Amino acid sequence: MATEDLETTIPNIHDTSLDADDSTLQQRMHLAIHAYNQKSKESNIRLLRDCVDAISALNLPTEDQKVNRIAHVLFATEDWGQNEDFSTRPQSGPKQIGDYGWPPERLEQVLELPQVQRNCFKPAFSKEFSAILVEEMTSVVFEGREDEGVMPVELTAFFSCVSGVYSLDYDRRGLCEFEAPIEEGVSREDMRLFLESENTVSEDIEEEMPDVYEQLDVRGGFRFGWKTGLWGGEPVRQWHSFYLFCQRKCDGDDADINWGWRVVIHLESDCDEGIVHPVRIFDTIFEFLDWYGDWYNRLDLEGFLKDLVEDNEFGE
């Protein structure tokens, strides 16, 4: 799936209980995911090109040293992933390169790697499974309440195209994926039990993420991803992504009293990296996708390349 266009990878956008009035939403989501995927690929290429230029300027004595230095960007190891287990993150695993084997022989060949052009999303589930998942998520969050459940129509449209999106993590920050909380194939009964156990309510947010609790009233929702980022070889960041039915806590006449499904990205960090927004709240999946794929423009490129050149985190 390295070079396929989104249209080829997802030839038939299926309807997971969207009515005719939502066909425009479904098409908008398809275009948004396509734009996100292209932006993610461009971010990956731009960073790797910057890394190649920075390493080339070092005038390292051998080509192996140059190639091994950039391997840390791709795999966080200089052995080009040959001794790593990628079973839990296949999207990051090595892929054979054309005619010159693995690993590449010259630094500039890195920009030709098939994995650099990998799509940054996971294929959609079947129509039936997607519909059941959205129904059960809604039912669990609104169980026992008098008010009628609010179906996450944006998520329905999202699942009609993909089951999740993720970062290849070349920037080494460990930004987590945003994907369905359960894999296809489980029974509806087991799905229900899992979702009931994973439903994130206000009390959980208050205890585990007080900075999110200060900003949101949460009725329920689910974790859509988590990942530990590294710095200097140590796990210092824990990223979480959630899809929550919530409302913002605001004072004054402009208070947002609208309940709705929102994407929340939360960062726990044990080191001072100048991260301005440890909590990101997106009112729509569209807003989230636009932000998520544009990580290159949020990167401290100067600092990143300084570490690469000085071999701080990328040591041999």
Q: How far apart are CA 82 and CA 95, in angstroms?
A: 11
Confidence of residue 90 (pLDDT cuts 50, 70, 90): low
The pLDDT of residue 270 is 53
Q: Domain-by-domain residue ranges, the chain? A: 6-310
Which structure tokens are listed for 312?
């701080």
Q: How far apart are CA 115 and CA 54, in angstroms?
A: 21
The pLDDT of residue 73 is 79
What does the pLDDT average to over 289-297?
Answer: 91
More confident residue, 139 or 17: 139
Which of 33-37, 74-78, 164-168, 257-261 has maximum average pLDDT? 33-37
In the predicted structure, residue 314 carries a pLDDT above the cut 50? no
Q: What is the 3-state secondary structure (H, E, C) of 192-241?
A: HHHHHHHCCCHHHHHHHCHHHHCCEEEEEEEEEEEEEEEECCEEEEEEEE
In the predicted structure, residue 100 carries a pLDDT above the cut 60? no
Mean pLDDT of the chain: 79
What does the pLDDT average to over 200-215?
Answer: 86
Residue identified by tokens 């059941």 is 132
162-165 and 121-123: which strand pairing? antiparallel
The pLDDT of residue 85 is 65
Which among 58, 104, 106, 109 has a CA at the least distance from the CA of 80?
104
> Amino acid letter at 36?
Y
Q: How far apart are CA 262 and CA 283, in angstroms?
A: 5
The pLDDT of residue 159 is 94
Confidence of residue 11 (pLDDT cuts 50, 70, 90): very low
Confidence of residue 81 (pLDDT cuts 50, 70, 90): low
> By percentage, how much of the chain surpasses pLDDT 70?
74
Instruction: Please answer whether residues 140 and 151 qualify as being in contact, where contact means their C-beta atoms are separated by less than 8 angstroms.
Output: no
Residue identified by tokens 């960073």 is 47
The pLDDT of residue 181 is 94
More confident residue, 266 or 138: 138
Dihedrals phi, psi of 35, to nearest 5 degrees: -65, -40
> By percentage, how much of the chain surpasses pLDDT 90?
40
Which among 128, 121, 126 has a CA at the least distance from the CA of 32?
121
In the predicted structure, residue 40 carries a pLDDT above the cut 60? yes
Q: What is the 3-state secondary structure (H, E, C) of the chain?
A: CCCCCHHHHCCCCCCCCCCHHHHHHHHHHHHHHHHHHHHHHHHHHHHHHHHHHHHHCCCCCCHHHHHHHHHHHHHCCCCCCCCCCCCCCHHHCCCCCCCCCCCCCCHHHHHHCHHHHCCCEEECCCHHHHHHHHHHHHHHHHCCCCCCCCCCHHHHHHHCCEEEECCCCCCCCCCCCEECCCCCCCCHHHHHHHHHHHCCCHHHHHHHCHHHHCCEEEEEEEEEEEEEEEECCEEEEEEEEEEEEEEECCCCCCCCCCCEEEEEEEEEECCCCCCCCCEEEECCHHHHHHHHCCHHHHCCHHHHHHHHHHCCCCCC
Residues 6+ apart with CB under 8 A from 114: 2, 3, 95, 96, 97
Confidence of residue 115 (pLDDT cuts 50, 70, 90): confident
Which structure tokens are listed for 106?
């010259």
- The model's pLDDT over 214-272, given as tens digits with 9 standing for 90+, comes to 889 999 999 999 887 655 555 556 788 999 999 988 755 555 568 999 999 987 765 54
Which structure tokens are listed for 227?
């990942």
- The model's pLDDT over 139-150, given as tens digits with 9 standing for 90+, comes to 999 987 766 778
What does the pLDDT average to over 112-133?
Answer: 88
The pLDDT of residue 307 is 80
**Dihedral sign, Cα of residue 25, residue 31, residue 34, residue 38:** negative
Give the pTM: 0.81
The pLDDT of residue 245 is 95
Cis preceding linkage at 103, omega within 30: yes
In the predicted structure, residue 190 carries a pLDDT above the cut 70? yes
